[in-house]
Structure 1
Amino acid sequence: MVGLLGRVISSSQGLYLYTNIHALSGIRTHNPGFRASERRSTCLRLLGYRDRQLLITVCFILQGRLNRKLVQTEIGILLKLRHPHIIQLREVFETRTEIQLILELVTGGELFERIVERGHYSEHDAAEAVRQILSALQYLHAHGVVHRDLKPENLLYESEHEEAHLKLADFGLSKMLHRGDFTMKTLCGTVGYCAPEILLNKEYDASVDLWSLGVVTYIMLCGFEPFWDDTGEMAVCRHIVEGEFSFPSPWWDDISDSAKNLIRQLLHIEPLKRPTAVEALNHPWVRGETPRRNHMGSTIKRLREFNARRKFRVSSCLIEFKA
């Protein structure tokens, strides 16, 4: 095999990424960081490597239409990133018919699925998860990377071990901000987690990731979305661009004021008034000083229902990425 870097792929060829991870040797596996794209998934293999197993996912080169920038962006970003809370791409190989991506294997499941399986779940547990996500975002933003599609499906645990790291995955909609560039204007993301400036097709920056984290944090603490509207997606978008959300009783009665304060900051309609990842890491709730430790059993029940609903909504929520 020939290394991918430095090799030119003809513009007439189509390259597709596959990510529907199959169970391998009885191990439950999960999306390691790549988006499926209108093709059936390929077979995947496990590879023993030093002290850990890696996942080999095969990406066929096919004739047809393709946004090659998506592939180059995704692979290029992941090759450069090294952080305990970010999925690692270890190596990339190319043959005449396929590209093989050697990835860190994660087997611990999605964040929200892990929560509902816990025997005990409190604000303190939620704050620790948020801290790990913010650590990943701080690293990404410091390296000029904006994730742009932060959502529960992209938050995966390294293993089933109780102390396993939470890892940020799926960089299919990521964007590198080069020196001198401070904003972007590409429509992307998943509607319920999109910042207002994205939906309004305005220029935006890394603060969109903090907004998305605000949505995730809100759901983690109550089990439903801050901008949800039964009348449809257009109503959801309207609530988002107007910054319309609340902490309704009785579902939020037992949640600390400190947690609500953080969420209000993250979901501020003005991007410049949202905290940076560094600033959010210094919030008392994230530092573990103010979150409550009482078990949130009713939240777990609603999160279980939320997990079931979102599996049926995935296809209707994704905004197609366009370069």
Structure 2
Amino acid sequence: MPRKQSDFVLDSKLKTQFLSRAVRHTRYIQGHTSRERQIQVKEVWDRESDLGRGSFGVVRLERRRSISTPNLEFPCRLRAVKEIQKRAMGGNSWDYMKELEIIAKFSHPRYAPYFVRTYGWFENADAVFITMEYFPLGDLQKFMRTSPPFSEEATRQIVRQLLEGMEFMHESDFAHRDIKPGNILVESNTPEWLVKIADFGISKQAREGETSLRTQVGTLSYMAPEVMGFLSGNDPAVAYSVAIDIWAIGVIAFELLFKRLPFRDVFDLTSYVLGNKPLDLEGASLPESCRDFLGGLIMPNPVDRPTAVSARNHPWMVEGVPPVDREDSLFVTDSPMGLYVSPPHLAATPASLAWSDLPAAEVTDTPLTTYHGPQFDSSVLIRNFQDLSLETTTYFVMRSDNEFDIESSVAHGVWTSSQRVNKILDKGFSRANGRVILVFSVIKRQVLPFNFCGVAQMTSPLDWENTDDHWMEDTWRGRFTVDWLCLTEVSFDKTKTIPVSQKSPGFRAIACYDGTEVSALSGYELLKAFSSEESDVLARRANQSDAMSLDDFAGSL
């Protein structure tokens, strides 16, 4: 019998009417201002194809057909829906409420870069349906089957994100218990791999004094020896720990680099666990630091394995290209509604590549660092933009928590951000010889709609030694000077088609991380949008002034 539904899970339940091969959801959202009444929105989703099947159900692709309030933008047209039968074959019950609670917990914006998030759930008498992000690129298993051994850098990128996700889960005393390539969904691939962890169906929390991890669950090829009872004489009463996830990540890292599993079968694994044979690291030219990293994660005794934090700080993991600290990123949605009306304490979450309707082969994430097209026409821009070296300028999209930081920046002519973003901007400033343009938007605003709000030019490199007092409370460090070129609001509706780069048309500039570099062409299109809005504002003011003059003249007659 499933456990009682928690308030947190009930908040994300969707009011649903089942149609023929479709469902209709009714949502209630707040109006554009706090004084406006809630708006009722109805949306219809058509079932399309099956994405995968498991012992307890199926995952389907669904497409949004219509929405009852067309003036409200909905960025998502595709979603994945996991259907879980309440009673599986043989009469076994599935504790789907536990999975709903875990998914709801790890759909919080804090975890958005690492875990597949849900947009709500619904049910009928026989099944529970969980709506989730759709990833057109599929899972990591698909790439591993069709690709040669992964490079060290690609493996580092993937493993780093898995360890970061496990760091969050383990610090909450959760073990995933089924980390495998099929449960790792690919958001983007080369040159930078972005992945998310999925399927919390057998995840479990184990706090000291409450409950322990004892059940023999998981996928055999990635199952740690203690789960199989190798270290306890097959005694099911002996508990294991979250270190089982570290083992699974080690197996995945090994498989990425060698294109084979570290153990041929259970007998091969038994010989390794009993110390009768070493870990077979032959067949690939890898540095000693990499071999040490793999050996550490796949240690037979779980107490000898590193934690997720220490594994992430291993010398081999910190080599190569500096990682993108996705946890520090600020996110924005290009819809005032989002896909699921979160409880009030949840902030906006990012639009992702999973929302793209493009074929998988077209979805990439490769910003253009140089521009090779025709010369831009500066005459269509406002005066403050016309002196910029448009083709050779580097452009970044910036996110601010609130409008007060923007006002402080205008007043003092300085800006700062997280350490990760500051490093990115500092490198961009050096690479572009000081030609850096920052396009700002404010997120977590209390008044909708969402807008870009201004354009500034970065006028100095990072000063890491000094931090302005008005940003000290944000634990930000360092500063650089800026010259504000424009302070006009531009609605996301007018810029939502501008991509981060022309090579990634499904990844939009309005829905990217803080400090994301956009191509020169996209930067130019953003400047055009600001220029057009500025001209419209001036025209409206002139019309108002003319109207007032006519009124004054009429009043004098």
> 5 Å matches for 1:166-181?
166-178=195-207, 180-181=209-210
Higher deviation after alignment, 255-264 or 110-119: 110-119
Aligned length: 261
The alignment-based identity, stated in percent, is 27
> 5 Å matches for 1:37-52?
37=55, 41=58, 44-47=61-64, 50-52=74-76
Question: Cα RMSD over matched residues?
Answer: 3.5
Amino acid at match of 1:208: I
Aligned match for 2:106, one of 81, 86, 100: 81
> 5 Å matches for 1:61-80?
61=86, 66-68=91-93, 70-80=95-105
Change (3 A) 1:245 1:213: farther
Q: What residue in structure 2 maps to residue 220 of structure 1?
A: 256
Aligned match for 2:170, one of 141, 150, 153: 141
Higher deviation after alignment, 150-159 or 212-221: 150-159
Post-superposition offset of 1:284: 1.6
Q: What residue in structure 1 maps to residue 286 of structure 2?
A: 255
Q: What residue in structure 1 maps to residue 399 of structure 2?
A: none
> 5 Å matches for 1:1-323?
5=5, 30=51, 36-37=54-55, 41=58, 44-47=61-64, 50-52=74-76, 53-61=78-86, 66-68=91-93, 70-82=95-107, 83=111, 84-115=113-144, 121-159=150-188, 163=192, 165-178=194-207, 180-181=209-210, 183-200=212-229, 201=236, 202-229=238-265, 233=266, 235-239=267-271, 241-242=273-274, 244-249=277-282, 251-252=283-284, 254-289=285-320
Q: Give me the whole-angstrom Cα distance separating, in 1, the residues matched to 2:92 and 2:217.
A: 14
Amino acid at match of 2:287: S
Post-superposition offset of 1:89: 1.9
Contact 1:110 1:154 in 2 (8 A): yes
Q: Give me the whole-angstrom Cα distance separating, in 2, the residues matched to 1:151 and 1:63.
A: 23
Amino acid at match of 2:259: G
Superimposed CA distance per residue, residues 142-196 of structure 1 (whole angstroms, 9 cap, x where no aligned partner): 2221011111211110256854520111222211124644741111112221112
Change (3 A) 1:272 1:57: closer
Post-superposition offset of 1:75: 1.7
Q: Give me the whole-angstrom Cα distance separating, in 1, the residues matched to 2:255 and 2:263.
A: 10
Amino acid at match of 2:289: S
Contact 2:137 2:186 in 1 (8 A): yes
Higher deviation after alignment, 47-56 or 187-196: 47-56
Change (3 A) 1:100 1:47: farther
Post-superposition offset of 1:73: 2.0
Post-superposition offset of 1:42: 7.2
Q: Give me the whole-angstrom Cα distance separating, in 1, the residues matched to 2:197 and 2:59.
A: 23
Q: Give me the whole-angstrom Cα distance separating, in 1, the residues matched to 2:165 and 2:264.
A: 27
Q: Which runs of 5+ in 2 are unaligned?
A: 8-44, 66-72, 230-235, 323-557
Contact 2:61 2:79 in 1 (8 A): no
Change (3 A) 1:174 1:128: same
Contact 1:227 1:239 in 2 (8 A): no
Q: Give me the whole-angstrom Cα distance separating, in 2, the residues matched to 1:160 and 1:124.
A: 12
- Greater strand fraction, Structure 1 or Structure 2: 2
TM-score, normalising length: structure 1: 0.69
Change (3 A) 1:112 1:203: same
- SS, match of residue 100 in structure 1: strand
Post-superposition offset of 1:271: 1.3
Q: Give me the whole-angstrom Cα distance separating, in 2, the residues matched to 1:151 and 1:64.
A: 24
The structure number with the bigger radius of gyration is 2
Change (3 A) 1:268 1:54: same
Post-superposition offset of 1:76: 1.6
Q: Give me the whole-angstrom Cα distance separating, in 2, the residues matched to 1:67 and 1:255.
A: 46
- SS, match of residue 55 in structure 1: strand
Post-superposition offset of 1:99: 2.6
Q: Give me the whole-angstrom Cα distance separating, in 1, the residues matched to 2:315 and 2:104.
A: 34
Q: Give me the whole-angstrom Cα distance separating, in 1, the residues matched to 2:226 and 2:148.
A: 39
Q: Give me the whole-angstrom Cα distance separating, in 2, the residues matched to 1:61 and 1:70.
A: 8
Q: Give me the whole-angstrom Cα distance separating, in 2, the residues matched to 1:90 and 1:132.
A: 22
Higher deviation after alignment, 268-277 or 120-129: 120-129
Change (3 A) 1:5 1:216: same
Q: Give me the whole-angstrom Cα distance separating, in 2, the residues matched to 1:70 and 1:134.
A: 27
Contact 1:44 1:58 in 2 (8 A): no
Q: Which runs of 5+ in 1 are unaligned?
A: 8-23, 292-323
Post-superposition offset of 1:86: 1.0
Change (3 A) 1:255 1:237: closer
Post-superposition offset of 1:115: 4.9
Superimposed CA distance per residue, residues 115-135 of structure 1 (whole angstroms, 9 cap, x where no aligned partner): 565699421111111101111
Contact 1:29 1:106 in 2 (8 A): no
- SS, match of residue 77 in structure 1: helix
